[in-house]
Each structure stands twice: as structure tokens, then as C-alpha cells.
Amino acid sequence: MTKKNIHEVAKLAGVSIATVSRAFNNSKFIKDDTKTRILKIAEEIDYKPSPLARGLSTNMTDTIGVIIPDISGEFFTDIIHGIDEEAHRWNKFIIVASSHGQRNDVETLIDFMSSGRVDGVVMMAPHIHKEVPEIIAKSKRPVVLINSLNEIDEAVSISIDNFQGTTANIEHLLEHGYKKLGMIKGPGDNCDAEERYLGFTKTLEKHGIEINPNWIVEGDFSTKSGYYGFMRLMTLTEKPEAIFAANDMMALGVYEGAKVLKLKIPDDIAVTGFDDIYLSRLLSPRLTTVHAPIEELGSKAVKYLLKLIYGEVNPYEAYHEKLSTGLIIGGSCGCNVPSSSPVF
């Protein structure tokens, strides 16, 4: 007896080979009645797919490529966790690679992953966002960007609303009566850093508060840069009353610096951060920060990438989604909140 193949199932069911594959993968991108009909036909002609044959016939690897600037640090591990959890729900595997924030590395990784090794790519490249359209155009696989500028019309991107989160953060400091606000910003070529800086300046301008350029120093999102940025601000004759660190890691550096200088937070200097990483919850007083849905960011990127892979959305149509944030109030801003009981 001639062994039945996936082409016969597709022909008898009146569907594509990819749809047959989805039925056997128990994909959510297929209607229940269609899946039932396909499986019934396969049973009637005694067709049983092998994983290898399925992959060859549909040109699918069931693998998603992930390119991020770094694989260390709580922010990146949370993103990877969100991607991996969502991929697992869809019976997909992931390959994670670090680009170290360099354009050449990103291009090399895209070439590597596009050569039949993955079905699509989730990419975070905040340092090279201006060159991203050119890089994506060379990819043979669909690409979903995370935390990239929405001005990239040709791309699909899922990002955190940095501007909204920063605005809420600064508004809260102003409600405390602080007028002299400083900022330790992220690197100038990073789109997250740019949006958070814009939120800081626009909020102060909205309230008619003059921005003192001496109270704005640049860091690189590391604890070390937060420490040295704080020390620079504390050497000024006129010092800020409150400091917004553009991420929690730099806020940790501010806490270290305050300890060295024997300054009390928030009595001597108020501090806020951004991201709500786990370490920020262990600080005393608890850090007031912006909760960024980091794992959801990875999860949403995978969901949309799968829609591209399975042809559920137009691959040539740009799509941009921003995830809202929430302010978590600890004691570092001056609020009388126990460290163990942050207010959302």
C-alpha cells in the first residue's frame, strides 16, 4: 500500500498544506471545525505525520529566533522569560542570541537566523533603530521589534509606553512639592532612553518649571553609571531635591552613592526609577518606580510574530502597539508607605 502524505490530506480537505500542519500542531490559528475535518480525513486515509516530514513539507522549523542587546541583567531575562513562556504555549522553541548593541552583529544574526533555522525573529535593537528598516528588508523571515521607535513605519513593533510612564513618575514628584528635579538618563542613542528623557522634559515644561541642564547627567542603564551620575550631581553647589533615574539599575547606584555620602532617602534626596525589577522591591525605603510589563512585552511579540508566520495578518502592513505602565509608589519619593506594601 502506498504511504499517504500531507498533500493528499490537504487536497481532500480543500485546504493548504500549512493549514493541515496547523491542525496537527493543535494551533490556535485554525477554526475548530476545520481542524476536526482535517483530522477525520487523515484518520480515514490512515495518515500519520512525522515531525521531520511535517517540517520539510511546510518549510517550518517550529523555532523562533530572539535577538537582544544583552543576555544578562534582570530586564533582559524577564523579556526572554516572557518570550519563552509564550513560545512554549504554541509548542515552539527559541534560539536566543546577543547582538551587544552593534549593527554588524544584528545583521549577522538576522542572516544566520533567516537561512532556514527559524520561522521568524523577535528583535530588540534600541541602539540602532535608525538603521532597522534596512536590516529588516534583508530578512527572509518576518521580524517583530520590541522597544523600538514607532516612527519606523515599515516595521511591526511592540513597545512599552515610556513617555506615559515617565510623565506619571514626574507628576508624582511635583505633587510632593519638589521643584528642583534632576535626572540620570540613559544612553543618547537608545530609543527607550530618548522617550524617557522626553517625558521628563515635557512634563517639567508643562508645569512651567525651568530645566537645569546641570541636573541632567547621562548614564548607560547600569548600576555603576547610576552611582557615578549621582556623585556628580552631589558635587554641585546647587543640588536637585529629587532624582529620576531612567531605570531601576541606575536607581540602585543612587542608593549606593547615598549610603557612601551618608545621605538619607528621601529626607536628604528623593529618588524614583523605571522598570520595577525585582531588586527594586528589596530596597529600603522601597523604590518608587514605574511598572513596565516586561514579560508581557515578550509574550505579545511572539503572538504577533506567529500571526505573521501563519499568514493571519498582512506581512507588508506596519503595526505598532504600546503597552501601558503603572506607577508603584514606595517610600523613596517621600510617601509614607511601608517597604512591603507598594501602592499601585
Select from 269, 252, 274, 278 the least CA-distant residue to 328.
274
Q: Is residue 342 predicted with pLDDT exceeding 60? A: no
Round to whole Å and give the CA distance between 26 and 139: 28
Do the domains at 6-58 and 162-292 have one common CATH topology? no
CA dihedral 141, 146, 147, 148 (to 10 degrees): 10
Q: What rounded mean pLDDT belongs to the chain?
A: 86
Round to whole Å and give the CA distance between 210 and 201: 9
What is the tens place of the pLDDT at every residue in 192-217?
A: 999 999 999 999 999 999 999 999 99
What is the C-alpha radius of gyration for the chain, rounded to an integer number of angstroms? 24
pTM of the model: 0.78
What is the tens place of the pLDDT at every residue in 306-317?
A: 988 888 888 778
What is the tens place of the pLDDT at every residue in 253-278?
A: 999 999 999 999 999 999 999 999 99
Q: Which one is the CATH code of 162-292: 3.40.50.11890, 3.40.710.10, 2.102.10.10, 3.40.50.2300?
A: 3.40.50.2300
Round to whole Å and give the CA distance between 151 and 121: 20
Q: Is residue 2 predicted with pLDDT exceeding 90? A: no
Q: Delimit the domains of the chain by residue range.
A: 6-58, 63-160+294-323, 162-292
- Cell 503597552 belongs to residue: 323
What is the tens place of the pLDDT at every residue in 96-154?
A: 988 776 767 677 777 777 777 889 999 887 776 667 777 777 777 889 999 876 556 67
Q: Is residue 338 predicted with pLDDT exceeding 70? A: no
Round to whole Å and give the CA distance between 4 and 13: 14
What is the tens place of the pLDDT at every residue in 80-111?
A: 999 999 999 888 999 998 877 676 767 777 77
- Cell 516612527 belongs to residue: 151
Which is the CATH superfamily of the domain at 63-160+294-323? Answer: Response regulator (3.40.50.2300)
Fold of 6-58: 434 Repressor (Amino-terminal Domain) (1.10.260)
Can you tell me the mean pLDDT for 54-77? Answer: 76
